[in-house]
Amino acid sequence: MSAASRLTPFMGRPDGINPAQALAAADANLEAYRETALALVDKAIADLAEGAASAPHEEIERLADSIAALAGMFGEDGVTHAAKRLCETVRGMVVSRAWEQTTIDVHIGALRLIRTRAGTQDIAQLLAGLDRLAARKVQGLG
Amino acid sequence: MADLCIETDQSFNFGEASVLIVDENNGFMDIATQMLSGFGFRKFHRCNRLSESKTFAQSHEADLILVDPFPRADDGLTLIQDLRARQAPGSAPRVVIIMTGHTPRELIQKARDVGANYVVAKPFSPATLLDRILWSTGTTKEAPGETPVRDPLAAAASALLQ
């Protein structure tokens, strides 16, 4: 009978580690990468701010996707939220063929603001506004 | 780890297992590498282009494959389909995990159709990734009172609901 997967033979091997050890090591590795990851987030936001007016929508979406994935790994929920809304907004505008640069700029401005640590209540209001904007764009209303 | 199936008495040594990571986001490839290094994986091949990963996969074996198919989802899924098609009959299957920030149901369905083991939504925790890896080995017992997730689509949906 064959193994369930190609990883099965590595179970129970000598000099192994257990899940708690694996997770502790992974968490430590991730923490060591935090500053690098957040620097990449800031770089991507800066790239958006600098080039979004002339960049193809694929590039805006790629940068927003990258921001959401990286920031989300390190508890930057507001940034992740805003970046995901930017992705949805871009896709909605592409589908409806109604590009609106101002809306893109609002999202990029929000990303910059959140990274500069505005007050929590301000961020919540900002994100609620982006949700409404994204919903309109996805539905082709705005 | 309340919602996961990780068993604390398991042990593993993935030092000789090979990993292929495919993601256009170099930063996220770094993150995946950091997580997997913590789990004991040491042999990595990383591709930030799907075309590069297809070339690699034609001449190398990987035991674990992590793929973000964004932004060319169909190409990414084709890579998985090709890998599954080349699997020798009766041999143990590679473990294929799709990691993506975009989780429409259509993608999950297609991922199941081409033979992905799991879909995990970015961002995800190390515990989620380790849980999927250990589950794929078939050595994880079902936790008392929990419903086993064996259907790939159900597993994907479960992963997305983490």
Which residue of chain B has the CA closest to A83?
Answer: B101
- Does pLDDT of B143 surpass 50? no
Residues B126 and A27: beta-carbon distance below 8 Å: yes
Q: Mutation target for B interface from A1, A5, A80, A81: give the one with most B CBs within 10 A.
A: A5
- Does pLDDT of B144 surpass 50? no
> How big is the CA angle at B121 (ends A4 and A81), to the nearest 5 degrees?
170
- Full domain range(s) for residue B102: 18-160
A36 touches chain B (CB under 8 A): yes
Size of interface A-B (CB pairs under 8 A): 163
A1 touches chain B (CB under 8 A): no
Count of structural domains within chain B: 1
Q: Assess if residue B76 is contained within a domain.
A: yes
CATH number of the domain enclosing B89: 3.40.50.2300
User: What residues in A contact B130, CB-CB < 8 Å?
Assistant: 19, 22-23, 26
The number of angstroms, rounded, from the C-alpha of B109 to the middle of its chain's C-alpha atoms is 15
Chain B contacts in chain A segment 74-133 (CB below 8 A):
80, 84, 87
Residues B79-119 pLDDT 10s? 888 888 888 888 899 999 999 987 778 888 888 899 999 99
Per the model's pLDDT, the better-predicted residue between A120 and B92 turns out to be: B92
Query: Which structure tokens are listed for A11?
Result: 């179970």
ipTM score of the complex?
Answer: 0.84
Q: Assess if residue B8 is contained within a domain.
A: no
Residues A126 and A115: beta-carbon distance below 8 Å: no
A47 touches chain B (CB under 8 A): no
- What was the pLDDT predicted at A53? 81
Q: Assess if residue B5 is contained within a domain.
A: no
Q: What is the mean pLDDT of chain A?
A: 88
Q: Assess if residue B13 is contained within a domain.
A: no
The number of angstroms, rounded, from the C-alpha of A77 to the middle of its chain's C-alpha atoms is 9
- Percent of chain B past pLDDT 90, that is, above it, reads 45
Residues A11-46 pLDDT 10s? 999 999 999 999 999 999 999 999 999 999 999 999
Q: Assess if residue B75 is contained within a domain.
A: yes
Q: Assess if residue B10 is contained within a domain.
A: no
Candidate from A9, A58, A70 with C-beta closest to B27: A70
User: What residues in B contact A61, CB-CB < 8 Å?
Assistant: 71
Chain A contacts in chain B segment 140-159 (CB below 8 A):
none
In this structure, are strands B43-47 and B18-22 parallel, antiparallel, or unpaired?
Answer: parallel
Q: Assess if residue B7 is contained within a domain.
A: no
Q: Dihedral through CA B54, CA B55, CA B57, CA B59, nearest 10?
A: 160
Query: Domains of chain A: which residue ranges?
Result: 18-138
